[in-house]
Amino acid sequence: MEDALKFISTAEVDEGFADEAARKLLLSGEGNDQKTRIIWKLLVLGARKSMSVEEFRALLGASTSAESIGNAFEKYREKIIENLKTIRWEYDDLMDVDWSVAKVHQSSLLGSNAEGEMQASFCLKTAPAGGLATRTIDVTFDDTQLHAFLYNLKEAQNMMEASRK
């Protein structure tokens, strides 16, 4: 992604070229040059993440090339999103979850007992949609972080329920 943004900041992309690249993406998928493929990468990324036009423009930064690509995204955004749905693009699949909660007590032979420290660990195994190789994501929380995470999770759940009403 960074390479695409760096390329766009240095390359000259006029309005007509960006528009033509977006149309090729939607109609034929033909385009062998690097500039066209980088424009496709950016357009698909913006559509895949359901970015608004403003968010997409902010991602690209300020340059004449970014403005041209932003205009093409504004014009073809909905069509690209529709096409992504036809190929059944999906987020990674969650394959397995392992978790553990532990409280470690420390004591000395002299009888003083230090406060225990709680830790929660989660191991998520994911596979890309349509792929077989799994990827592991490990997350460990201490007591304070776990409480903050659970609070934020509950708040998000409440907002989802409120938006459904």
Provide the domain limits for residue 112: 93-164
Based on the structure, what is the number of domains in the chain? Answer: 2
Instruction: Let me know whether 100 and 156 are in one domain.
Output: yes
**Length of the chain (residues):** 165
Q: Would you write out the chain's pLDDT as a tens digit for each of its 165 residues?
A: 667 777 766 677 767 778 788 877 777 767 677 778 888 888 888 888 888 888 888 888 877 778 888 888 898 888 888 888 777 666 677 778 888 888 766 555 545 445 567 788 889 888 876 667 788 889 998 888 988 988 998 998 998 888 887
What pLDDT is recorded for position 1?
65
Instruction: Let me know whether 49 and 120 are in one domain.
Output: no
Instruction: Let me know whether 97 and 54 are in one domain.
Output: no
pTM of the model: 0.49
Instruction: Let me know whether 119 and 72 are in one domain.
Output: no
Instruction: Let me know whether 98 and 81 are in one domain.
Output: no
Provide the CATH number for the domain around residue 116. 3.10.450
The domain boundary residue, chosen from 86, 120, 155: 86
What pLDDT is recorded for position 88?
66
Burial environment of residue 38 by CB neighbours within 10 A (0 to 12, 13 to 18, 19 or more): buried
Instruction: Let me know whether 67 and 99 are in one domain.
Output: no
What pLDDT is recorded for position 154?
92
Parallel, antiparallel or unpaired: strands 113-127 and 93-107 = antiparallel
In which order are the strands placed within the sheet that holds 93-107?
Answer: 93-107, 113-127, 135-142
Q: CA 84, CA 90: separation in Å to the nearest integer?
A: 9
Residue type, 83: N
